[in-house]
């Protein structure tokens, strides 16, 4: 009877995961959706402890450890969530994702202690799930920790000689050891060798990847953690854990594919660590040899105030300057003057999927003002002014015109089609792809140098006087 009740509770929890995931698709309902899914997980945890394993004195120590783990995790998670800055949100996502992968790997290690390896005479599906959970969880953990370090600026991009070949050898080794174990020839030593190889592979395939490509990596590692969690749910017969893992894994995989398309990358290259690790310089040519033209705060204010359509392109520089609130204030001032203002959001702007959407939503920018790339690009030619704040590679025309460019073929925001382009930037440094942006030297482009927040504050004050 208790098992039936537990199954019903798991079903309810699974429904909250689905509902929560659906609500995450819109900023206005995302917070509520997150809370609904969290409540569902809490219900599943309490039910698993109290129904599936009824309390008795012999398990007092185990229950004490469980309670301690829940308490410590809750305190640490709450403190990190409250203190994290929007600019550091990708790091926190990577860190939490890595912890999920570590948990999945630990489940596999613990279950291995109680599992008798077969002799190869019959297929052991449970052991295969255990090995896959170990491998994927370990790769997710070590890869996420490297991603965290890189985003935090503590680890630099590093490409080993013959990096692709090494990664392919590592993958082959993982597959070979898995098959060897499944055939029943391996022992605990091989199992832990597999653990070490998986951890090393996670480090090697994330290490060479540059910051511009981190959205793809974060999505991929997130899907890894989901799949590893689903394997853990299979081992324990826990329907809620299985469903949650499947949802995270499938959502992460779909998002990874979308990110790859947005970056014009192949998933194979992601797995082999073949992109984003080197900084290439684009050919300067006649455009690159010209001097970029500057514009003053007052001239910018006049140009914006007397425009009909303005598009703002936010990038990571906006997040670093924490200028989203003053940017929203400028937008409201222009709207009061009869100017139509929208935001152009590139799929991989920032350091994680949806980074710019979350950043602008924090400043109460209406969701309908945030236009996706496919929606805003056809209207760029009729836009009077595009204001680029902290974005670089996602507006670089080289992606369309220069076959030798590392970003050639990557879909971009076609701001070069607008009538006027104003770029807020500290200096003329290249973006994360490490290539020169010829847009800076176009006749229609003007550079407004300085800290984004400071420039926007001065610009807002000037617009009020126009």
Please say if the pLDDT value at position 277 is more than 60: no
Q: Identify the pLDDT of residue 355.
A: 80
Strand 385-389 to strand 309-314: parallel, antiparallel, or no bridges (unpaired)?
parallel
Please say if the pLDDT value at position 464 is more than 60: yes
The CA-atom distances, in angstroms, between 137 and each of 201, 218, 223, 245, 263 are 12, 14, 10, 12, 26
More confident residue, 84 or 395: 395
Q: Identify the pLDDT of residue 223.
A: 92
Q: Identify the pLDDT of residue 187.
A: 76
Evaluate whether 170 touches 204 at the Cβ level (below 8 Å). yes
Strand 309-314 to strand 340-345: parallel, antiparallel, or no bridges (unpaired)?
parallel
Handedness of CA 140, 141, 142, 145 (dihedral sign): positive
Q: In the numeric block, which tokens belong to residue 98?
A: 């890595």
CA distance 258 to 433: 19
Evaluate whether 216 touches 270 at the Cβ level (below 8 Å). yes
More confident residue, 368 or 174: 174
Query: Across-strand partners of 449?
Result: 425
Task: Quote the distance between the C-alpha of residue 345 and its chain's center.
Answer: 15
Q: Identify the pLDDT of residue 30.
A: 82
The DSSP annotation for 43-56 comes to HHHHHIIIIIS---
Percentage with pLDDT > 70 across the chain: 86
Evaluate whether 413 touches 393 at the Cβ level (below 8 Å). no
Q: Does domain 285-465 have CATH number 3.40.50.1220?
A: yes
Evaluate whether 214 touches 89 at the Cβ level (below 8 Å). no
φ, ψ for residue 462, nearest 5 deg: -70, -40
Confidence of residue 295 (pLDDT cuts 50, 70, 90): very high
Which helix (H) or strand (E) is 310 found in, with range? strand 309-314
CA distance 349 to 368: 18
Query: Mean pLDDT over residues 309-329, rounded?
Result: 89
Query: Across-strand partners of 313?
Result: 388
* pTM listed for this prediction: 0.77
Three-state secondary structure call for residue 294:
strand
- Per the prediction, the chain carries an average pLDDT of 83
Q: Identify the pLDDT of residue 90.
A: 80
Query: Across-strand partners of 294?
Result: 447
Q: Identify the pLDDT of residue 279.
A: 44
The CA-atom distances, in angstroms, between 6 and each of 46, 50, 202, 239, 258 are 10, 10, 36, 10, 37
Query: Mean pLDDT over residues 460-465, rounded?
Result: 91
Task: Quote the distance between the C-alpha of residue 434 and its chain's center.
Answer: 21
Question: Which tens digits make up the pLDDT trace of 402-426?
Answer: 887 777 778 889 999 999 999 998 7
CA distance 137 to 100: 8
Q: Which of 43-47, 59-63, 218-222, 339-343 has the highest mean pLDDT?
A: 339-343
Please say if the pLDDT value at position 288 is more than 60: no
Helices (H), 306-371: 316-321, 324-336, 355-362
Query: Mean pLDDT over residues 300-324, rounded?
Result: 90
Question: Which tens digits make up the pLDDT trace of 108-151?
Answer: 998 888 776 655 555 678 888 999 999 999 999 999 999 888 88
Please say if the pLDDT value at position 3 is more than 60: no
Catalytic residue set: 393
CA distance 161 to 33: 46
Domain limits, CATH 3.40.50.1220, in the chain? 285-465
Query: Across-strand partners of 217?
Result: none
For residue 27, give the nearest of 372, 369, 328, 367 by alpha carbon. Answer: 367
Q: Identify the pLDDT of residue 126.
A: 83
Evaluate whether 379 touches 418 at the Cβ level (below 8 Å). no
Confidence of residue 429 (pLDDT cuts 50, 70, 90): low
Question: Which tens digits make up the pLDDT trace of 233-274?
Answer: 888 888 888 999 999 999 888 888 887 877 776 777 655 544
Q: Identify the pLDDT of residue 210.
A: 67
Question: Which tens digits make up the pLDDT trace of 179-199?
Answer: 888 887 767 888 999 999 999
Q: Identify the pLDDT of residue 269.
A: 64
CA distance 413 to 196: 42
């Amino acid at each position: 009877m208790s098992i039936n009740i537990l199954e019903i509770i798991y079903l309810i929890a699974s429904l909250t995961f689905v509902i929560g995931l659906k609500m995450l698709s819109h900023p206005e309902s995302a917070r509520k959706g997150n809370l609904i899914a969290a409540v569902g997980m809490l219900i599943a945890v309490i039910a698993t402890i109290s129904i599936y394993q009824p309390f008795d004195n012999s398990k007092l120590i185990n229950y004490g450890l469980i309670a301690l783990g829940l308490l410590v995790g809750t305190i640490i998670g709450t403190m990190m969530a409250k203190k994290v800055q929007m600019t550091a949100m990708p790091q926190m996502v990577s860190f939490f994702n890595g912890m999920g992968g570590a948990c999945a790997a630990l489940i596999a290690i613990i279950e291995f202690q109680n599992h008798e390896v077969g002799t190869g005479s019959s297929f052991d599906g449970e052991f295969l799930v255990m090995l896959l959970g170990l491998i994927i969880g370990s790769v997710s953990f070590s890869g996420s920790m490297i991603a965290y370090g890189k985003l935090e600026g503590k680890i630099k991009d590093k490409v080993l000689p013959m990096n692709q070949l090494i990664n392919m050898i590592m993958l082959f080794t993982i597959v070979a050891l898995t098959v060897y174990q499944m055939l029943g020839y391996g022992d605990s030593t091989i199992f832990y060798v597999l653990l070490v190889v998986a951890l090393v592979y996670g480090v090697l395939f994330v290490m060479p990847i540059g910051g511009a490509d981190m959205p793809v990596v974060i999505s991929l590692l997130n899907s890894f953690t989901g799949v590893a969690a689903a394997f853990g749910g299979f081992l324990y017969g826990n329907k809620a854990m299985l469903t949650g893992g499947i949802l995270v894994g499938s959502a992460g995989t779909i998002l990874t594919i979308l990110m790859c398309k947005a970056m014009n990358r192949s998933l194979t290259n992601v797995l082999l660590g073949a992109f984003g690790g080197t900084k290439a310089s684009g050919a300067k040519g006649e455009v690159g040899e010209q001097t970029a033209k500057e514009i003053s705060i007052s001239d910018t204010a006049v140009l914006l105030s007397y425009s009909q359509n303005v598009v703002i392109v936010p990038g990571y520089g906006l997040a670093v300057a924490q200028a989203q609130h003053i940017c929203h204030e400028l937008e409201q001032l222009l709207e009061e003057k009869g100017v139509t203002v929208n935001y152009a959001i590139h799929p991989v702007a920032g350091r994680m999927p949806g980074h710019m959407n979350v950043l602008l939503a924090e400043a109460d920018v209406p969701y309908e003002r945030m236009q996706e790339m496919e929606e805003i690009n056809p209207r760029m030619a009729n836009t009077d002014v595009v204001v680029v704040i902290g974005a670089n590679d996602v507006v670089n025309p080289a992606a369309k015109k220069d076959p030798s460019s590392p970003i050639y073929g990557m879909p971009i925001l076609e701001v070069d089609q607008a009538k006027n382009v104003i770029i807020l930037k500290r200096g003329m440094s290249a973006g994360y792809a490490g290539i020169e942006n010829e847009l800076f030297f176009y006749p229609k482009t003007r550079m407004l140098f300085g800290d984004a927040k400071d420039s926007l504050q001065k610009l807002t004050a000037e617009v009020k006087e126009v």
